[in-house]
Amino acid sequence: MAPCRLCPRACGVDRRAGAIGPCFGGWRAAVASICDHHGEEPPLSGTRGSGTIFFANCNLRCLYCQNHQISQAYRKARPDELEPAALAERLLELQARGCHNINFVSPSHYAAQMVRAIGEAARRGLRVPIVYNSNAYDALEVLRLLDGIIDIYLPDLKYGDDAAARRYSHVRGYVGHARAAIAEMWRQVGPLELGADGLGRRGTIVRHLVLPNDLADSEPSLAWLREACGPDVTLSLMGQYTPAHKAAREALLSRTIRPREYARVIECAERLGFHDLLLQDEHLAPEFYRPDFERAHPFEKSDCQKK
């Protein structure tokens, strides 16, 4: 973090001295909420929830972010900064409440603080799996340092075209960085492994949010994923897109997705031979609906509480 290169932006600011870069992350981790989250994929949420740490701020600036209140409002996040020891205490509290795992959401720009908190909590008895839930705009150097620390990787595969990523998430080179990151995650932990209780213990789940008008370039993205990771990677196809935040200003983003758009991506995934698909919406594609995957609810309706 001095100079900062925790993510591919490699902005070079000295966060140790109090400087902030494009992610607005400082020396201490800003934590927006901590909860037992029941809206993740079933192998993570189980019956007692995923112990979720929602970090504030983000290294992307998605126009349609449903969590923009915490990802893009850094001034409000400053009072929520925690030292690693305080964050470690909260991890242990989530484990004591029975959460099946510890799930770090948007950790890319706080990876160093995350590792310090995990180390402190592990010395004090943290034993549940660690989930790294990111937008995949992650630095390879950092991911390689996480080898042996992270049990389950949960990255997004947002775009198949850099121009779309630049326009809608204000980031350069997303496709190459995200694909390299996912390949490294897969190398470290491989396919999802479930315990006897049906809960994830180790492995990779890749999320792909279907965008209106195929702005995510779903077919080339899924074709790459099939080639890079094979048919055994767990693929979570997300159909809950709504034109949140600033999306209404962009004509192609200003509506929800249509049932046929979601079904078309499912058909593509099945044609490519993915063995483990998690699907979300009964109304979007009833012919494909898997009832074991409850639709994830938006942040505002979750049971998460301020720290």
Q: Which domains does the chain have, with CATH numbers?
A: 30-306 (3.20.20.70)
**Residue at token pair 């630049």:** 166
**Residue-level pLDDT, tens digit, the chain, 307 residues:** 999 999 999 999 999 998 888 999 989 999 999 999 999 999 999 999 999 999 999 999 999 999 888 888 776 656 678 999 999 999 999 999 999 999 999 999 999 999 999 999 999 999 999 999 999 999 999 999 999 999 999 999 999 999 999 999 999 999 999 999 999 999 999 999 999 999 999 999 999 999 999 999 999 999 999 999 999 999 999 999 999 999 999 999 999 999 999 999 999 999 999 999 999 755 555 554 444 443 333 323 334 544 3
The vertex-280 CA angle with 177 and 127, nearest 5°, equals: 65
Helix (H) or strand (E) run with residue 305 in it: strand 305-306
What is residue 7's predicted lDDT score, i.e. its pLDDT?
96
Backbone angles phi, psi at 159, to 5 degrees: -135, 155
Under a CB-based contact definition with an 8 Å cutoff, are residues 189 and 220 in contact?
Answer: no
Chain center to CA of 300: 17
What is the C-alpha to C-alpha distance for residues 149 and 188, in angstroms, rounded to an integer? Answer: 10
